[in-house]
Every structure is written in structure tokens, then in C-alpha cells.
Amino acid sequence: MFTKPLTTNSNEEDNTDLRIRVDTLAGDFSISSCGRSSASLDGVIHAEGQYALLGKAEALGKFEALIPNVRERIKDVLAGSAPEKYCTRIIYGDLFARVVDYCPEFQTIQDLTLSPSGLEAIAKVRIDVGF
């Protein structure tokens, strides 16, 4: 569950520590942050939840069951009349910047195609190996 957005106050000179906690025994995680000059050492929790690991065969079976539907939805977005296409510069410089300013390390969307209805989109995402 996303409880609070991850934002900083650009008017303050502060570094933010991003904390990602994964408890492999309990199967839960949390994402939190804390400004180094913040009075609270606990910081703010932005997301938390539970997960369960699946065996390889079970995971592949679930993905294989979804593939036909995903392919059809991708085809619908691309075949629609005049889908809108956006590059990284527009996505993070214009669209998302109205809400939050993503640092370069979090700018992973390479391009995005939006369906004419505006309800579905396809994105090419790239995460660097060292990240």
C-alpha cells in the first residue's frame, strides 16, 4: 500500500536517505525515507506490504495464462487511431514534473505510448544493472 508519496522540499538543503526493508522470513517489505536534518529518526513510510515467493513452474504458469490478454491489450493500444507517444524528456520534464521531480536514477521510462482513450499505456522501461 502506498501511504505517502516520496517527495522532498526543494527549498531546503538536505539529503534524503531512502530505506528499502525486505524481511524474507516474514514476507513483508517497506519503503521509507528520512531527511538527514529531520528531527525524526524513523522517517516517513511511503509503501509497505506483503509478498510470497512462487516456485518457477507456478510463476511461469501464471505468466503464460496472462500473455494472450496482455498481447491483445498491447495490440489495441498500438492499433488505435493516433496513439500519443512520449519520450523520456517529455515524460519526466513536463508530465510528471507537475506532480513530482524524479531524480535521474528513478527516470526509467524510455518511451510511453498512450491509447487514444487515455486509459491504457505501454512503456519501455530500462533499469541499469548496477541499480
Q: Decide: pTM greater than 0.85.
A: no
SS3 74: helix
Lowest-confidence pick of 73-77, 84-88, 127-131: 127-131
What letter represents residue 37's amino acid?
Answer: S
Please write the tens of the pLDDT for every residue from 9-56.
555 555 677 888 999 999 999 988 887 655 555 678 888 999 998 899
Closest CA to 111 of 129, 131, 130, 95: 95
Supply the pLDDT for residue 19: 85
- Cell numbers at residue 19, please? 530505506
For residue 30, the 8-state DSSP code is E
Q: Which amino acid is at 12?
A: E
131 vs 107: CA distance, rounded Å: 12
SS3 breakdown of the chain: % helix, strand, coil, rounded to 5?
30, 30, 40
CA 19, chain centre distance (Å): 16
